[in-house]
């Protein structure tokens, strides 16, 4: 009897399993089980409809299914053998005898099964966002089905496994399109919903319950015709839902929104046939993104797509906790037309150094950055409003050899884009095809040969950017363009960004620049000599200017050099040590922060060194804005978006402490410790020293005058060194012996008041 698929719901499929008779043994042994699909209502090709019924058949493309035992161990992906009439298929596997029970679960296609969960009897399956529609059926990869057997106490002789569809289906029939298309050729149709319709989802067969794992709201189906377009998707209630359809052609796009009815509940196995008239629609000129084949084609201000080189997916607008989701795209020969709204459009901005780019995401998302240093583990990529070194990327384009598991492992992928945040230990951006996400990895990761895919960059088609750009910065300068340095000879870097010609000069005896003119990006070296005077404090001014029509056209930076310490040691007014936690990342411990190259808030007299320690990992950096100084604007609902000051504070945890060892103090009699906090010192919140001959005396605390809406307190301690003290350094420790609350500390300074 011929088996068919019903229009409203797909009929069940019976499978049988034959086990050869064998003498039962006490010890476990392996028995071969043969599964036979006796009807073709599984992962199939839809046949021509007979009224409202669609016959289905096994196809040449169906080579494997995934089979698990007891929702736990798996036989892996088993090969299929089809019958001559395509109505049956068999697959076999060895099964261990002697187990307490046997329940078999099969999923088709094999690649759709990601994981199983024995405790919840749950499947984690994936519905592709990029599909290929045929004239008569959905993409075989988008027909996700499962079969579950009864439970047996021993290896059964016969297993009946009815297959059921997990996915539902949209069948679009477009009308009135000939005059709209004209000579344009159809490339694909994308479907966008407010529901999650593709990606990875959890499915519990016993109840039919579904939940999102890593899902998205757009599916792109490649097709050359509009007569019949099929899409496989996650079941959902689409009652009163509006679907946004975009028809992509070689000459532009046609957009159409359709309103579904009040009872449009698409259940598993159901086909919803939707007739869509394009009368009154028009063809819109395409938005074209071209494949980037050389890094020289990229400019500041470009709009780009980050795309998997060997998969039809791009970086999505969906920011997961530690990575970016994928979104489907339809690739042409070196171009992508009209990507869906789910695809992230990145704007290239200047990075922190010449030759580096900041990847600014759309909307209010901020900058993509490699987040390994925040968590200390994992392959993480997040988004932040503030540009940090971990979000400053180099981009290079070159051909690369394929990974070991690629179809052509000995071949090469052309025009591979390498995006690398060099300041991060895991700063290489890649597409993880095993997990369907984009993230950042180690450059030597073993994943490079198995689970990940190279990237391509597609650039919005436009004329080359000729708008003049010019900016100059010094990493060590403050907001007033001033650098303070010791009496020692020193080389400082000056960063020049842009595409304009420039000239540079420096004033001050003995100072020099590595270059006095140039064009475009450059890193200049400013060299200043040693100051041998005990009284003079020379200043040097470096100026970089352009004649291009930009504002500002000139930048000046002043370098103030300290006097050389005399026989009496350090001078009054000298800053022995200061810390503002600038350049830190949330959840860094003080010791981890100090070890970073980005710990730009640390100053030690005469370029000396200090050591930070703390108890455990609870005492750590926080950017919650509880202490926030010298702000120009702020947003109380989203303090991390405030501008004008460093938001990073140190959270000294309850029952915690932070110790600073090695603060220079040779020849000093008195210093003042000054810092900002959200808490007044008391018996539980103290500063102490374990250095003999050093005494912490008078402490004062006053409110910090600010328009900030939080309570900020400025605290000072007078510190005295005894007449017999002859050491060259001393230690301080911030203590919080309270068991009830944490405290915050920032902008700590130790200044000489008497020598």
Per-residue model confidence as pLDDT tens digits over 460-483:
987 766 788 899 999 888 878 998
pLDDT for res 464: 66
The Cα 503–Cα 517 span in angstroms is: 4
Q: Which of 363, 359, 367, 344 is nearest to 301 (CA)?
A: 359
451 pLDDT higher than 80: no
For the structural domain made of 470-561, what CATH number should be given? 2.60.40.10
Kindly state the greatest CA–CA separation across the chain: 107
Mean pLDDT, residues 557-569: 81
709 pLDDT higher than 90: no
The Cα 96–Cα 106 span in angstroms is: 17
Per-residue model confidence as pLDDT tens digits over 368-379:
999 887 767 788
pLDDT for res 29: 46
Per-residue model confidence as pLDDT tens digits over 330-339:
888 899 988 8
Number of Cβ within a 10 Å radius of residue 494: 23
Per-residue model confidence as pLDDT tens digits over 497-546:
988 999 999 999 999 999 999 998 999 999 999 998 878 889 999 999 99
Identify the top-confidence range among 9-18, 593-602, 683-692: 683-692
Reading the block at residue 310, the tokens are 């060997």
pLDDT for res 89: 60
> 671 and 748 in contact (C-beta within 8 Å)?
no
The Cα 251–Cα 283 span in angstroms is: 8
Per-residue model confidence as pLDDT tens digits over 582-598:
878 888 899 999 988 77
Weakest mean pLDDT among 84-88, 573-577, 679-683: 84-88
The Cα 146–Cα 8 span in angstroms is: 18
pLDDT for res 650: 93
454 pLDDT higher than 80: yes
> 289 and 460 in contact (C-beta within 8 Å)?
yes
Fold designation for 288-460:
Trefoil (Acidic Fibroblast Growth Factor, subunit A) (2.80.10)
Residue 440: strand pairing partners: 429
Q: Which of 149, 136, 142, 134 is nearest to 167 (CA)?
A: 142
pLDDT grade for 6, boundaries at 50, 70 and 90: very low
Fold designation for 575-754:
Jelly Rolls (2.60.120)
Mean pLDDT, residues 482-501: 90
Residue 343: strand pairing partners: 316
Task: Give domain limits for the chain.
Answer: 15-235, 288-460, 470-561, 575-754
268 pLDDT higher than 80: yes
Return the HEC string of 50-112. ECCEECEECCCCCCEEEEEECCCEEEEEEECEECCCCCCEEEEEEEECCCCCECEEEEECHHH
Higher-pLDDT residue of 655, 25:
655
34 pLDDT higher than 80: no
Q: What is the mean pLDDT of the chain?
A: 82
652 pLDDT higher than 50: yes
pLDDT grade for 447, boundaries at 50, 70 and 90: low
pLDDT for res 2: 24
> 440 and 421 in contact (C-beta within 8 Å)?
yes
Rounded to 5°, angle at Cα 222 from 436 and 183: 150
The Cα 520–Cα 499 span in angstroms is: 4
Weakest mean pLDDT among 32-36, 275-279, 435-439: 32-36
Q: Report how far Cα 408 is from the mean position of its chain's Cα atoms.
A: 28
Higher-pLDDT residue of 343, 447:
343
| Burial tier of 562 (Cβ tally within 10 Å: 0-12, 13-18, 19+) | buried
315 pLDDT higher than 50: yes
Residue percentage of the chain with pLDDT more than 90: 45
């Amino acid at each position: 009897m011929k088996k068919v698929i019903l229009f409203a719901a797909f009929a069940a499929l019976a499978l049988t399993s034959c086990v050869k008779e064998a003498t039962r043994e006490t010890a476990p042994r392996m028995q071969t089980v043969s599964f036979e699909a006796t009807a073709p209502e599984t992962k199939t090709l839809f046949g021509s409809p007979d009224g409202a019924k669609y016959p289905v058949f096994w196809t040449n493309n169906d080579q494997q299914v995934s089979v698990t035992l007891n929702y736990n161990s798996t036989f892996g992906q088993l090969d299929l053998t089809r019958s001559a009439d395509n109505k049956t298929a068999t697959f076999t596997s060895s099964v261990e005898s002697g187990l307490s029970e046997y329940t078999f679960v099969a999923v088709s296609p094999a690649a759709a099964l990601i994981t199983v969960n024995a405790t919840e009897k749950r499947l984690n399956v994936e519905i592709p966002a990029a599909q290929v529609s045929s004239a008569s059926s959905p993409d075989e990869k988008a027909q996700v089905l499962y079969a579950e057997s009864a439970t047996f106490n021993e290896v059964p002789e016969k297993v009946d496994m009815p297959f059921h569809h997990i996915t539902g289906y949209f069948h679009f029939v477009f009308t009135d399109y000939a005059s709209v298309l004209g000579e344009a050729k159809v490339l694909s149709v994308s479907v966008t919903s407010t529901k999650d319709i593709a990606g990875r989802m959890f499915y519990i067969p016993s109840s039919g319950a579904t939940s999102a794992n890593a899902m998205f709201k757009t599916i792109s189906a490649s097709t050359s015709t509009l007569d019949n377009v099929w899409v496989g998707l996650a079941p959902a209630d689409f009652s009163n839902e509006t679907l946004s359809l975009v028809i992509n052609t070689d000459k532009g796009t046609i957009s159409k929104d359709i309103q579904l009815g009040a009872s449009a509940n698409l259940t598993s196995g159901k086909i919803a046939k939707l007739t869509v008239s394009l009368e009154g629609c028009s063809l819109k000129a395409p938005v074209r993104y071209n494949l980037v084949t050389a890094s020289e084609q990229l400019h500041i201000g470009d709009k780009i797509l980050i795309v998997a080189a060997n998969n039809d997916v791009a970086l999505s607008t969906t920011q997961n906790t530690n990575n970016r989701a994928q979104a489907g795209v339809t690739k042409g020969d070196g171009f992508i037309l009209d990507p869906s709204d789910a695809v992230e459009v990145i704007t290239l901005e200047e990075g922190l150094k010449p030759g580096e780019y900041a990847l600014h995401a759309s909307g209010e998302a901020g900058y993509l950055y490699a987040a390994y240093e925040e968590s200390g583990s994992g392959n993480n990529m997040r988004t932040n409003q503030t540009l940090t070194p971990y979000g400053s990327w180099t981009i290079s384009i070159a051909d690369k050899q394929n990974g070991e598991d690629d179809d052509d492992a000995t071949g090469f992928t052309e025009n591979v884009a390498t995006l690398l945040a060099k300041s991060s230990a895991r700063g290489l951006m890649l597409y993880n095809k095993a997990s369907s996400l984009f993230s950042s990895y180690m450059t030597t990761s073993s994943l490079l040969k198995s689970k990940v895919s190279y990237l391509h960059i597609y650039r919005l088609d436009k004329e080359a950017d000729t708008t003049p750009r010019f900016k100059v910065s010094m990493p060590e300068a403050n907001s007033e363009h001033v650098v303070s340095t010791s009496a020692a000879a020193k080389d400082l870097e000056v960063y020049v960004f842009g595409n304009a010609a420039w000239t540079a000069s420096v004033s001050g005896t003995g100072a020099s620049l590595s270059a006095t003119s140039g064009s475009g990006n450059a890193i200049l070296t400013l060299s200043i000599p040693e100051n041998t005077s005990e009284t003079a404090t020379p200043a040097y001014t470096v100026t970089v200017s352009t004649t291009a029509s930009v504002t500002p056209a000139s930048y000046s930076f002043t370098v103030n050099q300290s006097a050389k310490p005399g026989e009496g040691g350090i001078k009054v007014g000298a800053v022995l040590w200061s810390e503002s936690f600038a350049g830190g990342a949330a959840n860094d411990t003080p010791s981890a922060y100090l070890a970073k190259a980005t710990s730009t808030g640390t100053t030690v007299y005469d370029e000396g060194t200090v050591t930070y320690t703390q108890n455990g990992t609870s005492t750590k950096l926080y950017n919650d804005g509880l202490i926030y100084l010298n702000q120009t604007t702020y947003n109380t609902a989203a303090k991390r978006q405030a501008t004008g000051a460093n938001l990073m504070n140190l959270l000294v945890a309850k029952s915690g402490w932070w110790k600073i060892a090695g603060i220079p103090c040779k020849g000093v009699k008195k210093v003042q410790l000054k810092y900002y906090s959200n808490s007044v010192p008391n018996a539980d919140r103290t500063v102490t020293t374990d250095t003999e001959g050093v005494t912490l005396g008078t402490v004062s605390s006053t409110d910090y005058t600010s328009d900030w809406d939080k309570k900020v307190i400025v605290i000072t301690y007078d510190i005295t060194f005894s007449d017999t003290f002859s050491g060259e350094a001393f230690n301080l420790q911030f203590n919080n012996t309270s068991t009830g609350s944490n405290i915050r500390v920032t902008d700590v300074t130790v200044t000489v008041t008497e020598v």
